[in-house]
Amino acid sequence: MSTSERLALLGGTPVISKPFAEYQSMGKAEEEAVQRVVRSGCLSGFFGSPGPEFGGGPEVRGFEEAWTAHFGVAHTISVNSATSGLIAAMGAIGLSPGDEVIVPPWTMSASVAAPIFYGGIPVFCDIEAETFCIDPALVKTLITAKTKAIVAVNLFGHPARLAELRDIADTHGIYLIEDNAQAPLGSEHGRFSGTIGHIGIYSLNFHKHIHTGEGGMCVTNDDNLATRLRLIRNHGENCTEMLGGGAITNMLGMNLRMTEMSAAVGRVQLAGVDAHVEAREKIAHKLSAGLQGLAGLTPPVVRDGCRHNYYVWMMKIDEEQLGLSRALFSEALSAEGFPHATGYVAPLYRLPMFRERIAIGRDGWPFSLSERTYADLHCPVTEDMHNRRALLFEPCAYDLSDADVDNLIAAMRKVHAGRGQLNAHLSGA
């Protein structure tokens, strides 16, 4: 056996000999945009008092207008992070202490922590095994008189069953909040993900498809929700008379404002969003096509009528069919130079905050307002994906040529074909 055929883990030559270049989405146009803002002397155009500047400076307002036009929504409200947007969304819908919010357990922690800032109680709902988003059939079983909202995370860039979830929300008089951080151009039957719920939140964090370093966008077609989001973003207790009159009196605000520099960069990035996202999708599509038909390995599935943006490309592993543990397959794949991770994040109900029912203050608030417990919670699909099946690659992280993607495919196929070498090594043969 030649050294190129022998697995690198067993002394052979790796398929990929050097790290891939990082993806760089910043260019001359972004540099000039920042310089324009610096020369203006206005790095933040916000005032926390009544007046035109309550809505920010010209770059922020221009970015919001461009976003509104691009996604065909009534309102866009910029914030300094998607986490801030999620928190603001909870305030905008009027979440009160003791209200319940149905959330998935397999996501970034902010998706489920946001309700807690307003005293909401997260209720975990398992995910689908196909696209790893919250399962609408299970959502229905968890709705109670205390339920205020559903949080749907469009995980890895694929939309949840958004139309179905919106119907469920409308039927029960509750809200659907979309965490659309990973799917900026995702869609379901021709409608952008992020625009189907009552409020959609986008991330502009540095490793997303497009970014401003830190930042986020909230979109809604509801005038009242838009007003409340703007108030929460900018010390709304000072400005309720200007923006809502006496009807909005219980609006405590924060400083969740985007800077003029971030907005200027964002305007440039938004103009190139199609190219940025399509480049990531091209990588993922080529990778999936090149790895079809391998026993025990299932490339990402895209539901009919949906667009997947591939913030993460997730291969699903069946250890029995593969004939190897995920851990050993991953170790051999790493030795071939294929950058990846396994498991994503542990189910969030394992976090000490939930297991011990303590979040804010010494007395366990807001969990002290609820009888729900988390220590014995088990979402079987989430646990199975995290513990045994998920193998993840980030197309957004790397600047890959077609030849690079060919090498990724070759590395995966080499390890798959070399399962016998690994088993022989383990048996001492």
394-418: pLDDT as tens digits: 999 999 999 999 999 999 999 999 9
To the nearest 10°, report the CA torsion of 312, 381, 218, 84.
-90
Can you say whether residue 194 is alpha, beta or left, with left for phi > 0 and alpha for psi between -120 and 50 degrees?
A: left
The confidence score (pLDDT) of residue 152 equals 98
Instruction: Provide CB contacts within 8 A for 107, sequence distance 6+.
Output: 153, 155, 179, 345, 348
The confidence score (pLDDT) of residue 88 equals 98
Domain boundaries, the chain: 8-17+273-345+380-427, 28-272
Continuous H helices in 143-181: 162-172
**Separation of alpha carbons 136 and 162, rounded Å:** 9
The confidence score (pLDDT) of residue 238 equals 82
Q: Is 86 exposed, middle or buried (0-12, 13-18, 19+ CB in 10 A)?
A: buried
The confidence score (pLDDT) of residue 10 equals 94
**Separation of alpha carbons 254 and 159, rounded Å:** 30
The full DSSP string for 215-239 is: -EEEEES-HHHHHHHHHHHBTGGGT
Instruction: Provide CB contacts within 8 A for 142, sequence distance 6+.
Output: 102, 123, 125
The confidence score (pLDDT) of residue 4 equals 72
**Separation of alpha carbons 217 and 194, rounded Å:** 10
Residue 121 identity (one-letter amino acid): I
273 with 210: CB under 8 angstroms? yes
Distance of CA 323 to the CA centre of its chain: 32
Q: 8-17+273-345+380-427 adopts what CATH topology?
A: Aspartate Aminotransferase, domain 1 (3.90.1150)
The confidence score (pLDDT) of residue 392 equals 98
Q: Which of 58, 70, 139 is nearest to 102 (CA)?
A: 139
Q: Is 244 exposed, middle or buried (0-12, 13-18, 19+ CB in 10 A)?
A: middle
Start-to-end Cα distance in the chain: 15
Phi–psi pair at 103, nearest 5 degrees:
-135, 155
**Separation of alpha carbons 420 and 246, rounded Å:** 73
48-83: pLDDT as tens digits: 888 889 999 999 999 999 999 999 999 999 999 999
Continuous H helices in 114-198: 136-142, 162-172
Report the residue count for the chain.
429
52 with 60: CB under 8 angstroms? no
Q: Which of 102, 108, 111 is nearest to 135 (CA)?
A: 102
**Separation of alpha carbons 75 and 155, rounded Å:** 24
What are 21's two structure tokens? 């270049």
* Secondary structure E strands in 165-293: 175-179, 187-188, 191-192, 199-203, 216-220
Domain 28-272 has CATH 3.10.180.10: no
The arrangement of strands across the sheet holding 313-317 comes to 297-298, 313-317, 390-393, 341-342
Low-confidence ranges of the chain (pLDDT < 50): none
The confidence score (pLDDT) of residue 244 equals 53
Instruction: Let me know if the fold of 8-17+273-345+380-427 is the same as that of 28-272.
Output: no
**Separation of alpha carbons 5 and 417, rounded Å:** 9
The confidence score (pLDDT) of residue 429 equals 57
| Predicted structure pTM score | 0.96
